[in-house]
Amino acid sequence: MDDPHHRHDDPDHCRDILAQLNDYLDGELAESLCRELEYHLASCPDCRTVYDTLSRTIHIYRALRDEPLDLPPGVEARLMARITLTLQEKTHDP
């Protein structure tokens, strides 16, 4: 294709497209940019895979965010201990 927006050999273009995914999924991307992004996703399997994965991850997160999850026994205590240790190490580093 001769379309300047269809460049699979340009990783910078893919990075630019992928940098806009969050705004696109949140409905905050300008309409003209949405069309460009959709066109690129339709023709770039690598970017489409990233989009599909991100979209599914957001969907799962939104579905689960209102349901409290029980952590296995001891996980919270170990996590808090590790966070505390890391913070202490950072405050003592020169």
pLDDT of residue 94: 59
Series of mean pLDDT values for 10-residue runs along the chain (94 residues): 54 91 94 94 93 91 77 88 88 67
43 φ/ψ angles, rounded to the nearest 5 degrees: -115, 0
Architecture of domain 11-92: Orthogonal Bundle (1.10)
pLDDT of residue 8: 61
Tokens 């296995």 sit at which residue? 72
Tokens 């970017």 sit at which residue? 47
pTM over 0.85? The answer is no
Dihedral angle sign, alpha carbons of residues 56, 58, 60, 62: negative
Return the number of other C-beta atoms located less than 10 Å from residue 65's C-beta. Answer: 9
pLDDT of residue 45: 93
